[in-house]
Amino acid sequence: MAFYGLLNENEFYSDHYLSEIFSGDIRQILEAWQQKENNAREAAKGDIPEGATRYTGYRTPANQLASQAREILQRLEESERLRKTLERVQASRNLTGRLLQIFELPNHPHLKILEDGTPVPLLGELLSAQGEPLLWMIESLHGASDEPDQDPLSFRIVPEQCTSLSDDPLPKDITADDAADWQKRLSQQIFAQSQPPRWVLLVSPRQWLLLDRAKFAQHRLLRFDWVELLSRRETETLKAVSVLLHKDSLLGSQGQSLLETLDENAHKHAYSVSEDLKYALRECIELLGNEASRQLEERARAQNRSIYSGREALDPGELSLECLRYMYRLLFLFYIESRPELGYAPVDSSVYLKGYSLEHLRDLELVPLTTEAERNGHYFNDSLNMLFRLIHEGYTPASTPQADLLANGAVQSGADAFNLPALKSHLFDPDRTRLLNRVRFPNHLLQRVIQLMSLSRPSKGRKRRGRISYAQLGINQLGAVYEALLSYRGFFAKDDLYEVKPKGEAADDLGTGYFVSAAALADYDEDEKVFDRNEDGLQTLRRITTSSGWT
């Protein structure tokens, strides 16, 4: 589900959680609000004054937003035409007060004095049951040199915001030309206090920003664009906005607020995604290993030898390690490109994004490969090898355009040029993948690998596979994915084998695998055999054949 006008910047919640799961998590609240409105309407039916045509009782927050949308937008336009700053400040507060009332949030404009003595214009605040600051609603207004639709984080305190609330002299840093903007004040003053608020609503006439103290340093926030929201009046979006901004969502009735519950659910979802990744990596390693052994065996046969025997026999343990290292390279790239604040991957460069990045291959994850040339070509393989080499060797734009040609013939110039520091680690050292360096993986196989690493596992009840958010995964979760496969080792099947398991236990694709010959399989009960479902949904024994090679 897309929420137009509600911007989930840098994945305040994972995109998949917000689009696929969030609506289910807030359904009960929305139903309770709607039932309250229905009950109020029923109760008012017998008391409607003669000639009255408009219901004036309780309405859900979303319905209030929809009914007042046109008037709020009109008042916004009128307030932005005011030339006197004090008049504009007052008009803005009157306009904001309408929205605060809808969300049952306090509307008591006053100055909050920080620990360093700086006054901050608050529209209201909420305290926890223990009296600690929970939510500050900070007023952010554009100054004479600003545009009304700028990011509220870029605005500075307008002196009239403070003088209209107090007669005390203003600090010099508020009246000076180089006064800090809200981005700086929040990070260096407000959230740096000994008792900072957990949440901040940065409120401007056109936009509200919901900020979580724990996520602000990563530039993760929810942005509410009122012009977009109230112009569209899209029902499901207004419902989502109402829940996220309502007082009841911020004040927990039993110690935990709804926003904290939603955040916890998003983290649980991220955990399930990390579990998906463990299984995805295992399957990817098998895909790479089988294709590598197939190509290496073909070359060996052409030289009248075999990779399975003799002094030059292929070591399955070494092949396993190289496939694992290949997948760890992809895991690293998925994560580093999703976290621009780490400052390594130059994702702000269109040249890097379109010509080199893993993300541009991710955009091709579901593109049908219909012809033989498309399926068995090597665009994915060559692009990844180029990216691995760039990271290992680093890249700095040369002084001559001829040296800066991309694979597609484009030339880096100006703002699009990028620098990539060399990462001299074992992970990207080509000497650590000597076997795989001799292999060119076909497009269809690497597309499958990127699909597995990009999309959640299909399961019952899911409408569709969600796109994995690597930005949402923490170091602990990525570490769990890494450690789950450290002991993985493949082998070459010399005979057809069948997988078995301890009786009474479920098969675990990430655990130790036990394999027996066809003759020995008769000694095992049905509950000790491992089954898969084929394309027709029928159970079949899990068999490892000699034709499948390495597994």
Concatenating the DSSP letter of every residue in 385-450 gives: HHHHHHHHH-B---SSGGGGB-TTS-B--GGG---B----SGGG-GGGGTTGGG----HHHHHHHH
Rounded to an integer, what distance in angstroms lies between the CA atom of residue 355 and that of residue 386?
Answer: 10
Nearest of 159, 153, 177 to residue 89 by alpha carbon: 159
Those residues with Cβ within 8 angstroms of residue 401's Cβ, 6 or more apart along the chain or in another chain: 411, 413
Dihedral over alpha carbons 242, 247, 250, 253 (to 10 degrees): -120
Supply the pLDDT for residue 262. Answer: 85
Helix (H, G, I), strand (E, B) or coil at 326: helix
133-139 β-sheet, strand order: 6-9, 221-225, 207-212, 199-203, 133-139, 119-127, 110-113
Both structure tokens of 354:
């379109």
pLDDT averaged over 10-residue windows placed end to end, the chain, 551 residues:
87 77 90 92 70 72 96 95 93 95 95 92 91 94 90 94 90 84 95 94 96 92 96 95 92 74 74 76 90 90 79 84 93 88 86 90 88 95 95 77 43 66 92 95 96 76 63 69 75 78 78 79 86 76 65 55
Distance (Å, rounded) from C-alpha 524 to C-alpha 183? 66
- The pLDDT score that the predictor gives to residue 394 is 92
Q: What is the pLDDT of residue 464?
A: 56
| Residue in this structure with the two tokens 């996220």, named with its chain if needed | 244
Helix, coil or strand: residue 503: coil
User: How is residue 550 annotated by DSSP?
Assistant: B
pTM of the model as a whole: 0.62
> Hey, where are the domains in the chain?
6-46+55-255, 265-483, 497-548
Q: Which of 312, 325, 334 is nearest to 428 (CA)?
A: 325
Helices assigned H by DSSP within 186-315: 226-232, 235-245, 247-250, 258-302
The C-alpha atoms of residue 549 and residue 463 are separated, in whole angstroms, by: 36
